[in-house]
Amino acid sequence: MTANMLLTQVNSFDFLNHLPESEMRFHIEGVRCQNCLGKIYELRQKLDGLIELHLNMSTKQLLVRIDKSKIKMSHVANEISILGYTLQPLQTPSESEKIQKEKNHRSLIGLGVAAASTGNIMLLSAANYAGADPGYVYIFDSLSFLLFLPILLYSAKPFWQSFLLFWKTKSVNIDLTIITAVVLGTGFSLYNLIHKMGFVYFDSMAMLLLLLLASRYMLDRIQQRYLNTNYLNPLLLETAVDVWLPESKTFENRPVKNLTRGDIIQVYKDQSLPVDGRLISENAYLNTAVITGESQPQKFLKSDLLFAGSKILSNKLKISVEKVGSTTRIGEYLKQLSDQIHGETQLTSKLNGMAKVFTISIIALASLLLIYFAPSNFSEGVQRALALVILACPCALGLAVPLTQSLALMKASRLGIIIKNGNVLHEVSKIQNFVFDKTGTLTYGQFEFDHWSPDSILTEKDFSIIMSLEQKARHPIGKAFTKYLKDKNTSLCKLDGWMEVFGKGVSGNLAGDFYEIKSAPIFYSDNPLLSSVGYYKNNELLAVAYFGDQIRPQSKSIIQKLKKRGNVFLLSGDNINQVQHLAKEVGIPLENVKASASPEEKVQFIDSLNYCAMIGDGANDAVAISKAHVGVAVQGSMIASLKAADVYFTIEGVEHLYHLFDVCEIFEKTVKGHMWFSALYNLLGALAAILGFINPLVAALLMPASSLTVLMTSLWGMKTIQLKIFKKHLSKEVLT
């Protein structure tokens, strides 16, 4: 990028200052690795007023959010441009797709130019290798140079841009060895051509760039397919829906992305609503668990607003479209989640640091080869150094690991597991302690009222107070209370100072008296699985209510499996009798049980354990889950749960822990395989190049082949997840 070009781009951002938005998205070009990402993220500390700066490596979208009273949007854009990256403001998500298509088109043209030129160069080189007359050899070499120029000056433009970025930022990237090879090979060949000394490598350079461009194009297309979070949309939403066409007066199936506000759609039972919209039908029943965490069917009336992601329980509904795609409530969250999923991870940062050291080492070693052979046989030194720089490249490892990570995240999502950050894939294998909540995790959490103790002591006023306390509570017992009292046609009263404290209970004031519902001492009960809460007036216990719950059939199986991996604990706010009984039923040692735990005590317990996973309700156990090394939410609202948890199960139940471990284990094995392959390939390749067993042309053929090998291994490694889980289903190890 020249100074004039840079100045033009910098000045072009002035219009951003006239826009009202304090948040903008940009399409960014030039970011190839985590080192580039680090340079951009350094601006977080440098620029006062920069609230958020996040780059989605998969979509090449940069999110910038500022405090307009402290900094201008144009200033942030200018700072990023000065680093050498190209920015383009985005008004709509479709603009990014358009830019990506244009880039793919340019890449194909460059690849076509390289293929045509390389084909002709190889024909001329074949004649030289076959023993052409020396006079023709010089002519053919000259023609090869002329044919090589379009590749060097046009097709190889991405590599030159990468080199300019290195020159500007002094940040080593994975393309540096390629540029070194091209400069060394071209410069040496041109010198020999001018002086008619033979030993030209235009064919090797052309083949290297052609194969690199082809593999890079293939990688980009694979990344565009797999390295994004669009896979989350069909997981939660329908991708096509029946749309009313006024001209033909019929419904016709159309892609959801083509819908606009005011369109009328028809959805059916068990479908997920793909839009935010107003109900046209008289009434409807929906499951809104993904949005609200409420698993019970919810009734909606005509003109009520329905949210995308809700599951249809009625047979057939007509809805008027209000919002589509990323503008829906869940779409906005999925967009935020997309920014988090493909952010910087510890593993990719570590590998990019290794690649940086490796790149510098190879260039230094090639320089030593040139110095060593300079006095005796400089041409031989150039040939060996060139083969070394071409062959020994960290591209395979640096590009394959992010792809493997994205494939693992996608596979997990298809199994009903949403992982918020790529770090989780690496961290799960470190877990030594597994802490389970009781209600809604190892049990269904679907309570039904059983009885009062003592019986017949409460009045209608008490029931009205209890109903008013529990109607807005989010704990499963609160919902069971509400259902029980609604069936009794209990009326509501107006409470002052209503409050819900997760893990403790609810409270409020009426006519100067303080009422609360919270855990209570157990009285006599024939069923130790019954959960109980006390009804208090002015801190005096009036009565105890008992609720029944059922143990999930998979709980015992998963506990037995996890005991082979580490320690298993049960952490609950319920009383000791209930918790210990459940522990005996599922096989958790009684010494690993902590009952009647407050939210603060749960956090303290989690903090006392090393490498701990907390598995529980994403809302009620949010604080404890957020403190764990890996937090897993097995139920509740996805939006609320993923604010605290690292992992969210879209289908209730603990059996998906099996699948989580399968995905993470295969990811680890695949990455380790890449690392061993890369180390062995580069070691043997470097030795062969240094000893002169490989010439630059052979090196040019081997180098892209290594990248393609690890990419194919990534794809195959993730496919084995499906095979492993399928075998588990056949052997009935999962659903027992």
Q: CB of 547 within 8 A of CB of 527?
A: no
Number of other residues whose CB lies within 10 A of the CB of residue 187: 11
CA distance 512 to 223: 64
Cα gap 317→268, rounded to integer Å: 6
Annotated domain spans of the chain: 2-90, 240-327, 432-610
| Among 632, 210, 704, CA closest to 419 | 632
Which CATH number is 2-90's, of 3.40.250.10, 3.40.50.2300, 3.40.50.720, 3.30.70.100? 3.30.70.100
353, two tokens: 């640091």
Query: For 417, phi and psi rounded to 5 degrees?
Result: -120, 115
240-327 — its CATH code?
2.70.150.10
The pLDDT, as a whole number, for residue 395 is 61
Structure tokens belonging to residue 452? 């009062």
Q: In what order do the strands lie in the sheet with 311-312?
A: 298-301, 283-287, 311-312
How far apart are the two ends of the chain, measured CA to CA in Å? 62
Closest CA to 236 of 467, 418, 498: 418
Instruction: Provide the pLDDT for residue 1.
Output: 42
Give yes or no for a contact between 179 and 160, defined as CB atoms under 8 angstroms apart: yes
pLDDT at 722: 58
All residue ranges of the chain with pLDDT < 50 are 1-11, 729-736
| pLDDT at site 5 | 42
Cα–Cα distance measured from residue 568 to residue 502, given in angstroms and rounded to the nearest whole number: 23
Do residues 32 and 163 make contact, with C-beta atoms less than 8 angstroms apart?
no
Would you state the structure tokens that stand for residue 171, as one six-digit string? 């940040």
Tokens representing residue 684 in the block: 């043997």
Residue 492 makes CB contacts below 8 A (sequence gap 6+) with 464, 467, 468, 471
- What's domain 432-610's superfamily in CATH? Calcium-transporting ATPase, cytoplasmic domain N (3.40.1110.10)
Q: Identify the pLDDT of residue 274.
A: 87
pLDDT for the residue numbered 368: 92
Residues 599 and 118: their CA atoms lie apart, in Å, by: 68
d(CA 290, CA 638): 5
Strand ranges for 549-707 from DSSP E? 567-571, 593-594, 612-617, 630-635, 647-649
- What is residue 7's predicted lDDT score, i.e. its pLDDT? 39
640: which 2 tokens?
């609320």
| Residues 594, 600, 606: CA angle, nearest 5 degrees | 60
Amino acid at 568: V
Do 708 and 218 meet the contact criterion of CB atoms below 8 Å apart?
yes
Q: Mind spelling out the 3-state secondary structure of 687-707? A: HHHHCCCCCHHHHHHHHHHHH
**Three-state SS annotation for 41-80:** HCHHHHCCCEEEEEEECCCCEEEEEECCCCCCHHHHHHHH
Res 406: pLDDT: 78
pLDDT, residue 340, reads 63
**pLDDT at position 734, please?**
43
Q: Where are the alpha helices (DSSP H) in 275-376?
A: 289-292, 329-341, 346-373
Distance (Å, whole) CA 698 – CA 114:
18
Q: Which residue in the block uniquely carries the two structure tokens 């540029």? A: 179
